[in-house]
A and B are shown apart, each in its own frame.
Chain A
Amino acid sequence: MEAGRRLSASLNTRRCARTTAELAAAFLADVAMVVLPPTRRRAGWLRGTAGRTGLEEGEIDLAAAAEVPGLAEALAGFPPVPSRWLDSAQTPAWLLPGGFGPVGHLLVTPLPGNGVPAGALVLARREGSAPFDDKTETLVRVFAARAGAAISAAVLYQEQSATNAILTGDLLPPPLPELEGVRMAGALRASQQAGLIGGDFYDVYLPDADALRDEPGRRPLVTLGDVCGKGARAAVLAGQVRHSLRTLLLLEGRPERIVGLLNRSLLASPAKSPFVTMVLGAVHSAAGGHTRLELAIAGHPAPLVLRGDGTVEEITERGSLLGALRSIVPALVTVDLAPGDVCLFYSDGITEAFGGPTGREMYGTARLKADLATCAGMPVTALVERLEQLSTGWLAESAEQDDRALLAVQAVPSEARVPAGRGGER
């Protein structure tokens, strides 16, 4: 029973193999080696030795596996064959730990998986010890069935999650590039926490050399947006939006034109309700270390601007959302950031979070503004982290969560210094 509990605990291949080797070395033989199903003609192995803590690990060639009768067959996924008594003289050196001494008895047992070969278990006992009798062999077979089921479930899970990781990799928030004159930081929390992906997104696009040659005035673009819905389905559409933006940028650099084109592409999309709200902004450097953001706002909560003295300005225009109507009117806004000023983009998952002391209150724009005001003078990474922290703290444990995204763009402070002493309250 203990063996069953320990074997079924993990969905990790190595971990299952490790438990198998540990248990077998503790109860069945002097040495127990699990040889895992091979990939690209090589097979990993884990070996436990009775009376020793810790396991050894290694890898063998399939050719080497063939030196042990029955092992190659077991690994190739042939149906379980009766375990064989082996001539210990046939034992290759790699099978046993150094200093083990002469082998008395060997037993190779396939690990039958759930339709997938799960490798093989090799057991060895020292010369002079009791041979593997019928009773032991039956026990080994029962144990191998359990271990094989656990390992093959783990192998399947690992393959699925590897595929999953590839598919979702592009949907995760990107690392933010260095842009001259500005500092940026972003945070994204998906509502479906195991998946890490959701319908909120942010991204930064730099014009490529060809675009710059044709149009030297091309500026980097920043965006933050929200796709209708949650989870994997929303994440796929968010990924498509980010990809479309990347492609559109090859031909067009003006935010208001890009959102128009994106709207057309969303209307043509096979997705069921491809509604998207977003802010897209071109980053211009201006005189005196200022940064000018030319924003197109499409149905999205308008950004907030934190000035150096702690005042927070709110842009009120929202524009129309994308993916619903043939003709859209984005709100066009210019934001001038003096050195140290911060423009904060956020998704409605932040402001519409329910919780607080009573557990029923909405966080709201007013609180976000008040909390943002306490961040004057912070580096943007700290600012974003603090706002995310406050928002997480606000969320009631029971509340249904939405995706939450934050992206802060700061004009580099003239000197990276906050005034000494205290300033602002807790």
Chain B
Amino acid sequence: MSELVLAPGLEAAAENYLEHIGHADEFGAVDLALNLLDDGVPAETLLLGLIAPAQRRVGELWAADRWSVAREHGATAVSERVVAAIASRVRPEPVLGRVVVACTDGEYHALSTRLLTEVLRLRGWRVDFLGASVPGTHLITHLHQKGPDAVALSCTLPTRLPRAHATLTACQAVGIPVLAGGPGFGSDGRLARLLGADGWAPSADAAADHLQSGGLPSSPVAMDAMAHLADEEYTQLVRRRPAILTGAMDALAGAYPPMARYDDRQMESTAEDMAHIADFLAAALYVDDTAVFTDFVTWTCGVLRARGVPPGALVRGLRVFRDQLREFPRARHLLAEGIHSAHAAETDDADWENER
């Protein structure tokens, strides 16, 4: 949901709102939102013009190391309460069809789907909100029971794309079209198209417009298999993930002697970082999309920079994988591109250092 801009006239409220949620001040945040509602600000404007931008800001503040993870989670929890408060105030009769809203299995970024849910309700849809991390089997059972007109499937992290693809295909197999959304599908929705989604929307209101305009087919058309998976690089990487990671950790220790002095916690967080690289690599292989990997590298460099860590650490990890994955030409190409992006970020860093 990246297209949102602050609704005019809400700038001052937005600052206050961020202040309230940043202090986990539930009552303050709820009062602020309900007062605006009483002042005649439409509920949809509050959801998409106040809460959604604030939530994006929260993510940025965490990435910039200005907010702790506890503060970020606290703020999100308060925003959930505010959405619930608005929803209990404004309850239009459903006059349109039924839509199921769900996060991909393993996805916990539920607030954006909650916002979508409420926007669809406000527009007159009957919505079943299945929440965070919905197992595929549970979703399919629900589809058989309720027979909705569409599924709105959210994927925030590209690492969940293979799972999102499985879910999407399963929904289509039971005859329900899927509207895809969330940054995981790419800011231009190219990955939603690649994976055969019946529609894609960049934001909650665009999703509502799409559904309302009858943009989805009543019965989805199954897509062909993705030819690039025939090289089995994705399959092998996922299957051999534990061995590859163990090998990578050993190689990293050889390439970076200070690791010998790491304590358990440091070793574990390094292992987690390496696992993260492997997972993004797997996702990029799955969708055969270089930007999925290089965007991850660039973003990670930004997060590291904010914490005073030079991109060198990340480059070391990428090199270890590149050297290790000799039989994976596609993966090696992605890693080379990733190293390139990290160097570009480093150059930016140097410029940034010089400016200071």
Contact = CB atoms under 8 A, between A and B. Distances in A.
Contact of B133 (A375, A382, A392): A392
Interface stretch (A112-120, A199-207, A262-270, A352-360): A352-360
Nearest to B238: A397
Contacts of A418: 23-24, 70-71, 74
Contacts of A154: 144
Nearest to A193: B135
Contact of A378 (B77, B176, B242, B245): B77
B67 A10 contact: no
A22 B66 CA distance: 55
Contact of A14 (B71, B76, B147): B147
Interface residues of B, number: 51
Given A12-B143, A157-B144, A376 B70 contact: yes
Given A11-B144, A22-B219, A422-B65, 10 more contacts: A22-B218, A53-B214, A53-B218, A157-B144, A194-B141, A418-B23, A421-B68, A424-B70, A425-B68, A426-B68
5 contacts: A9-B173, A12-B146, A19-B219, A423-B68, A423-B71
A426 B24 contact: no
Interface of A: 6, 9-15, 18-19, 22, 53-54, 154, 157-158, 161, 165, 193-194, 196, 356-360, 370, 374-379, 381-383, 385-386, 388-389, 392-393, 416-418, 420-426
Given A357-B272, A357-B275, A379 B77 contact: yes
In this complex, which of A15, A157, A165, A426 has the most chain B Cβ atoms within 10 angstroms of its Cβ? A15
B74 A378 contact: yes
B70 A377 contact: yes
Contact of A375 (B70, B106, B137, B143): B70
Contact of B74 (A12, A13, A53, A377): A377
A424 B68 CA distance: 6
B125 to A, nearest CB: 15
Interface string B245-259: 110000000000000
A87 to B, nearest CB: 33
Given A194-B141, A418-B70, A418-B71, A370 B26 contact: no
B137 A378 contact: no
A377 B271 contact: no
Contacts of B24: 377-379, 416-418
A-B interface, 9 closest residue pairs, ranked by CB to CB distance from nearest: A12-B147, A193-B135, A9-B175, A382-B77, A15-B147, A194-B137, A11-B144, A357-B271, A382-B73
B242 A360 contact: yes
Contact of B245 (A53, A358, A370, A420): A358
Nearest to B248: A357
Contacts of B77: 378-379, 381-382, 385
A216 to B, nearest CB: 31
A226 to B, nearest CB: 20
Interface in B57-113: 65-71, 73-74, 76-78, 80, 106, 108
Contact of B175 (A6, A360, A383, A385): A6
In this complex, which of A360, A374, A378, A424 has the most chain B Cβ atoms within 10 angstroms of its Cβ? A378
Contacts of B307: 426
Contacts of A54: 214
In this complex, which of B23, B73, B132, B218 has the most chain A Cβ atoms within 10 angstroms of its Cβ? B73
Nearest to B98: A14
B194 interface: no
A53 B216 CA distance: 11
A19 B68 CA distance: 51
Nearest to A310: B70
B22 interface: yes
A307 B143 CA distance: 43
Given A22-B219, A358-B242, A379 B78 contact: yes
A349 B43 CA distance: 41
Contacts of A360: 242
B210 interface: no
A37 to B, nearest CB: 16
Interface of B: 22-27, 65-71, 73-74, 76-78, 80, 106, 108, 132-133, 135, 137-138, 140-141, 143-147, 173-176, 214, 218-219, 241-242, 245-246, 265, 268, 271-272, 274-275, 307
| Interface residue SS majority, chain B | helix
Contacts of A381: 77, 80
Contact of A422 (B25, B68, B132, B144): B68
A405 B96 CA distance: 37
Contacts of A377: 24, 70-71, 74
In this complex, which of B132, B242, B246 has the most chain A Cβ atoms within 10 angstroms of its Cβ? B242
Nearest to B267: A357
Contact of A358 (B70, B74, B137, B246): B246
A19 B218 CA distance: 9
B138 A196 contact: yes
Given A18-B218, A193-B137, A385-B108, A416 B26 contact: yes
A358 B245 CA distance: 6
Contacts of B174: 9-11
Contacts of B74: 377-379, 382, 418
B65 A19 contact: no
B309 to A, nearest CB: 11
In this complex, which of A11, A161, A376, A421 has the most chain B Cβ atoms within 10 angstroms of its Cβ? A11
Contacts of A10: 143-144, 147, 174-176
Given A10-B174, A12-B144, A386 B272 contact: no
B71 A15 contact: no
B132 A385 contact: yes
B259 to A, nearest CB: 15
A50 to B, nearest CB: 14
Given A194-B135, A375-B70, A392-B133, A420 B23 contact: yes
Given A10-B144, A11-B174, A377-B24, A426 B69 contact: yes
A389 B108 contact: yes
In this complex, which of B71, B135, B176, B241 has the most chain A Cβ atoms within 10 angstroms of its Cβ? B71
Contacts of B26: 379, 416
Contacts of A382: 73-74, 76-77
B133 A194 contact: no
B69 A193 contact: no
Nearest to B76: A382
In this complex, which of B74, B173, B265 has the most chain A Cβ atoms within 10 angstroms of its Cβ? B74
